[in-house]
């Protein structure tokens, strides 16, 4: 048991008690002893950095994962949540960050999706409309009409529809995963008013967030997770000092082996310069530069604009204003083919959907960006292609070292090595890495870190995006802090510390 | 810190490299098996079936759809579809046999046919890439307009081809083998090389396998797609030249539903309708399966209605067989 204060009414058992929850995935312990309690009529905030185990915890509570050890107690009685359906039956409703509503359906159809009122197979639309209107009234959003198609609603209104759905399910406990991430300031105020009403009605809310200001405004108590464990539970949300919370969230013990930094000569040329880059709604007036052999890290929360900046530099999206120069020459924007020919490379955030040809062999994934160089007399010289692939597999230590193996059979870490290897073979001046260690286990991480550092050692400039602050600080030479689409700080990574960066990221958020 | 990545060694069903090679480059076994069964059945039911002259008849009649299927294979592997090929056969046949074109002789007739095939493919490609209209709709629209244009030009009546040299393309033999069979073989050979040995083929596979990954790897997606649909229009035009020469006339009614025969052949051949995976050889086998079935039914004097019922059943059976095999690996 972690340290915990009593729930508001000590005579009654808490609505939900989580005890010693453990969940393993291959190669990693996602949850390693989580304890906390939520009382009825309470908004309980969960704080923790990326990788602390918040998402896994939500999935266990929502019935998407079964825990390996530990217990869940509802009203003091142990329960099992083997499936999402079971969670709903128990009154536990989860509202995910990516709202799981159907844009093509009407509001009332979304609210009753999966539990439609029906008689003899015929839906009872009038009844569902009335019940939806009723739920929306309870939420103080009468202006949303049950017959409106969801596609016409703002993100904030969609969230209200999700909440209406939770009410229609007779929810007792509502879990909200970073609900404010996609909302504008006044929409967040609305959301908080709704949450306040839910609390008054005796429901319990588990509220996951990165933003300390929100904890102050809406939370009753706070539980902090780090590396899959509860490090503090049931803290008073309004009075616990910022410093205290940040200190609890940081100071990771895991020995991520970061390679030693190289020495960048003073006369190392600037390879990438970004000036005044702006894309409406994503980022504003972003300027920075990367020198040959330098690793520059962009640190920011989800939704801060960090990945969007990378995408615009690469040409995956077209910025509204600004310039990018590569080796002193202006880069044509908005076309990845131009970026690649000019000497840029990208290892995108979503490996499987944005980088890999999953049905193809490893060697074909490696050579994808460099096929033209193997062409003689119009045909691809497969011997040369295979020789390059074998060399890359060797130097990257891809396992198993079989160029003909289908890439989908490799582990996440080895797949990522192949994605980086694609640019190693092509040879680029600047490599953009978006979350290079996502879904990669600890052992392969260290190898990737070494590989990235080695690449920089050959004079390649590297721009790195990561939601894990220790990774940015350990790997990069320089850190740019991105908040709400702006670069607000530029620090040498060696002298910056995690707490300082984290408070820069979290302060003055959307409120 | 571990230095060995444990998950790397515990991948599912380790497969020997040699097996992977055979799956990637050789003919899919399913269609070969189906064809073998049908051929044996044909030899059993008719003594004439296994004769050299019947084999040549079958290959000749397979050549038109076969050539179209090569272009279709590329389009489907890229994740698209081309419904306009049958209509383009009609349009190019009519264009090549108009009176002014015929005055230019066989060279002009072929050149006009190929130019209109390429041009229609260019329009398909531009509508898809720059108009952002999905291939199904874009080529459906082309199907309707191309056939309409063919009828408008020809006035709805067949135009006789008077050029002896042109007409000979449909019937002449080279070393005892009809010319259309040679052209079919050549198109297949070029298609195979293009798909397996050139950057164009690799990029086609990449587009169908993961469009976003292909884009972010620097492949010029739009240009590639336009060329793909031009290729499909070109193969339709080549098929049209051979068909027109054999019929010695061009008509707006020819090539009806050829697009469905070609798509069915490609799918039976093991190419994935969603793209990213497929072979030229598989499509050839798909065409041969259909041709041989038709031939057997003709030899046994069975009506076309029975043939069509059997064809439908074969499509389902072949795809089910493939899915079984895919699940096994």
CATH of the domain at A47: 3.40.50.300
Do A276 and A395 belong together in one domain? Answer: no
8 Å CB contact between B262 and B65: yes
Query: B16: distance to nearest CA of chain A, Å?
Result: 8
Do A73 and A176 belong together in one domain? Answer: yes
- Tell me, what's the pLDDT at A254? 45
ipTM above 0.85, yes or no: no
Locate B28 and state its tokens.
């899919």
d(CA A313, CA A325): 10
Split at pLDDT 50, 70, 90, the class of B215 is very high
Q: In terms of CATH architecture, what is B28-328? A: Orthogonal Bundle (1.10)
Q: Based on the structure, what is the number of domains in chain A?
A: 3
Do A452 and A501 belong together in one domain? Answer: yes
- Tell me, what's the pLDDT at A54? 86
Q: Would you kindly state where each structural domain of chain B is located, as residue ranges? A: 28-328
Over residues B210-216, mean pLDDT: 95
- Tell me, what's the pLDDT at B96? 97
The conformation of residue A234, written as its DSSP 8-state character, comes to: E
When CB atoms are compared, the residue of A357, A379, A399 closest to B209 is A357
Do A84 and A214 belong together in one domain? Answer: yes
Number of Cβ pairs < 8 A linking chain A and chain B: 124
d(CA B193, CA B128): 26
Do A62 and A85 belong together in one domain? Answer: yes
Closest-CA residue of A relative to B210 is A357
Over residues B145-155, mean pLDDT: 97
Do A176 and A34 belong together in one domain? Answer: yes
In-domain check, residue A22: yes
- Tell me, what's the pLDDT at A219? 94
Split at pLDDT 50, 70, 90, the class of B21 is very low
Query: B209: distance to nearest CA of chain A, Å?
Result: 6
Q: Which of A228, A253, A278 is the last residue of a domain?
A: A253
- Tell me, what's the pLDDT at B1? 37
Do A434 and A510 belong together in one domain? Answer: yes
Do A72 and A220 belong together in one domain? Answer: yes
In-domain check, residue A370: yes
d(CA A495, CA A499): 12
- List, for residues B101-110, the tens digit of each pLDDT value: 999 999 999 9
Do A179 and A312 belong together in one domain? Answer: no
When CB atoms are compared, the residue of B2, B216, B218 closest to A348 is B216
Q: How many CA atoms lie within 13 A of B255 on its CB side?
A: 36
- Tell me, what's the pLDDT at B281? 95
In-domain check, residue A313: yes
Q: With a cut of 50, list the residues of chain A below it in pLDDT.
A: 1-7, 253-255, 509-511
Is residue B142 over pLDDT 70?
yes
Residues 6+ apart with CB under 8 A from B21: A404
B285 to each of A196, A344, A426, B315, how far by Cα in Å? 67, 43, 38, 13
Return the closest-CA partner of residue A209 out of A58, A37, A419. Answer: A58
In-domain check, residue A446: yes
Q: In A412-424, which positions are buried (b, 16+ CB within 10 angstroms) versus exposed (e)?
A: bbbbbbbbbbbbb
Do A292 and A404 belong together in one domain? Answer: no
Query: A106: distance to nearest CA of chain B, Å?
Result: 26
Residues of chain B contacting A316 with CB distance shorter than 8 Å: 215-216
Closest-CA residue of A relative to B215 is A336
Is residue B236 over pLDDT 90?
yes
Q: Which of B9, B13, B218 to mutate to test the interface with A (most CBs of A within 10 A)?
A: B218
Q: How far apart are the first and last CA of chain B?
A: 35
Residues of chain A contacting B4 with CB distance shorter than 8 Å: 443
What is the span of the domain harbouring residue A37? 15-91+172-183+206-253
Query: A403: distance to nearest CA of chain B, Å?
Result: 9
Split at pLDDT 50, 70, 90, the class of B201 is very high
Do A274 and A210 belong together in one domain? Answer: no
């Amino acid at each position: 048991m972690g340290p915990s204060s009593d729930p508001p009414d000590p005579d009654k058992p808490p609505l939900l008690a989580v005890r010693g929850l453990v969940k393993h995935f291959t190669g990693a312990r996602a949850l390693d002893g989580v304890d906390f309690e939520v009382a009825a009529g309470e908004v309980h905030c969960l704080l923790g950095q990326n990788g602390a185990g918040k998402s896994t915890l939500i999935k266990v509570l929502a019935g998407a994962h079964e825990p390996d050890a530990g217990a869940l107690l509802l009203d003091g009685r142990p329960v099992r949540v083997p499936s999402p359906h079971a969670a709903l039956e128990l009154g536990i409703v989860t509202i995910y960050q990516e709202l799981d509503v159907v844009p093509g359906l009407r509001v009332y159809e979304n609210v009753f999706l999966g539990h439609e009122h029906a008689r003899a197979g015929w839906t009872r639309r009038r009844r569902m409309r009335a019940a939806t209107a009723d739920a929306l009234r309870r939420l103080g959003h009468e202006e949303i009409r049950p017959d409106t198609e969801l596609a016409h609603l703002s993100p904030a209104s969609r969230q209200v529809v999700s909440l209406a759905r939770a009410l229609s399910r007779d929810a007792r406990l509502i879990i909200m995963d970073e609900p404010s991430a996609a909302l504008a300031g006044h929409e967040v105020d609305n959301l908080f008013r709704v949450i306040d009403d839910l609390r008054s009605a005796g429901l319990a809310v588990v509220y996951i967030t990165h933003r300390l200001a929100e904890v102050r405004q809406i939370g009753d108590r706070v539980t902090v997770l780090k590396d899959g464990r509860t490090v503090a539970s049931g803290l008073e949300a309004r009075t616990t000092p910022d410093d205290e919370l940040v200190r609890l969230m940081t100071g990771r013990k895991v020995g991520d082996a970061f390679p030693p930094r190289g020495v960048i000569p003073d006369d190392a040329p600037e390879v990438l310069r970004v000036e005044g880059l702006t894309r409406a709604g994503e980022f504003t007036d972003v300027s920075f530069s990367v020198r040959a052999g330098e690793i520059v890290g962009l640190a920011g929360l989800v939704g801060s604009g960090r990945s969007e900046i990378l995408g615009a530099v690469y040409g995956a999206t077209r910025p509204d204003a600004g310039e990018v120069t590569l080796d002193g020459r202006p880069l044509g924007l908005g076309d990845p083919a131009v970026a690649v020919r000019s000497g840029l490379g990208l290892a995108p955030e979503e490996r499987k959907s944005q980088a890999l040809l999953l049905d193809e062999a490893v060697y074909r994934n490696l050579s994808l960006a460099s096929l033209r160089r193997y062409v003689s007399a119009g045909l691809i010289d497969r011997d040369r292609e295979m020789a390059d692939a074998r060399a890359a597999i060797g130097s990257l230590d891809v396992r198993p070292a079989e160029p003909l193996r289908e890439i989908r059979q490799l582990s996440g870490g080895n797949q990522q090595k192949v994605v980086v290897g694609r640019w190693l073979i092509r040879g680029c001046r600047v490599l953009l890495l978006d979350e290079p260690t996502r879904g990669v286990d600890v052992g392969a991480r260290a190898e990737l870190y070494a590989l990235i550092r080695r690449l920089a050692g050959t004079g390649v400039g590297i721009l790195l995006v990561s939601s894990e602050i220790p990774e940015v600080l350990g790997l990069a030479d320089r850190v740019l802090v991105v908040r709400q689409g702006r670069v607000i700080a530029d620090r040498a990574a060696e002298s910056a510390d995690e707490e300082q960066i984290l408070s820069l990221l979290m302060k003055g958020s959307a409120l | 810190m571990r230095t060995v990545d444990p998950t790397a060694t515990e991948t599912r069903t380790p497969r020997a490299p040699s097996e992977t090679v055979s799956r990637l480059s050789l003919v899919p076994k399913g269609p070969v098996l189906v064809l073998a069964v049908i051929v044996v059945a044909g030899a059993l039911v008719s003594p004439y079936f296994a004769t050299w002259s019947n084999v040549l008849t079958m290959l000749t009649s397979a050549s038109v759809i076969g050539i179209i299927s090569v272009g279709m294979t590329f389009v489907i592997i890229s994740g698209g579809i081309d419904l306009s090929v049958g209509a383009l056969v009609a349009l190019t046949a009519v264009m090549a046999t108009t009176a002014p074109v015929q005055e230019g002789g066989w060279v002009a007739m072929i050149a006009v046919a190929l130019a209109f095939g390429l041009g229609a493919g260019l329009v398909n490609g531009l509508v898809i890439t720059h108009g952002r209209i999905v291939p199904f709709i874009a080529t459906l629209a082309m199907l309707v307009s191309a056939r309409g244009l063919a009828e408008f030009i020809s006035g709805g009546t067949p135009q006789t081809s008077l050029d002896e040299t042109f007409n000979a393309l449909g019937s002449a033999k080279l070393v005892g083998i009809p010319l259309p069979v040679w052209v079919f073989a050549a198109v297949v050979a070029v298609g195979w090389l293009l798909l397996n040995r050139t950057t164009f083929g690799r990029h086609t596979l990449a587009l169908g396998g993961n469009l976003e990954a292909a884009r972010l790897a620097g492949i010029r997606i739009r240009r590639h797609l336009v060329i793909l649909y031009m290729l499909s229009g070109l193969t339709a035009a080549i098929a049209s030249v051979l068909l027109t020469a054999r019929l010695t006339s061009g008509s707006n009614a020819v090539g009806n539903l050829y697009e469905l025969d070609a798509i069915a052949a490609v799918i039976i051949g093991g190419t994935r309708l969603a793209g990213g995976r497929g072979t030229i050889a598989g499509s050839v086998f798909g065409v041969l399966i259909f041709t041989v079935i038709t031939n057997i039914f003709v030899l046994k004097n069975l009506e076309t209605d029975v043939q069509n019922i059997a064809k439908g059943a074969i499509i389902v059976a072949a795809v089910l067989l493939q899915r079984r095999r895919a699940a096994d690996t």
